[in-house]
Amino acid sequence: MSLEQDDPKNRRGAERHRTLITGRVYFRSGQSSLDCQVRNISLTGACLRGHGVMDLPDHFRLEIPARDRIYECEARWRLHDMIGVQFKLPEKGAERAQATMAERVAMLEYENRLLRQRIKELSERLAEFGASTESF
> What does the pLDDT average to over 52-58?
95
Same domain, residue pair 70 and 43: yes
Q: Are 53 and 82 in contact (CB under 8 A)?
A: yes
Same domain, residue pair 83 and 96: no
CB hemisphere CA count around 16 (13 angstroms): 21
Per-residue pLDDT, 112: 84
> What does the pLDDT average to over 61-89?
92
Number of separate domains in the chain? 2
User: In terms of residue numbers, what domain contains 9?
Assistant: 3-87
CATH number of the domain that 26 lies in?
Answer: 2.40.10.220
Q: What SS3 string covers 59-102?
A: EEEEEEHHHCEEEEEEEEEEECCEEEEEECCCCCHHHHHHHHHH
**More reliable by pLDDT, 105 or 24:** 24
pLDDT band, very low/low/confident/very high, at 6 (cuts 50, 70, 90) = very low
Same domain, residue pair 11 and 54: yes
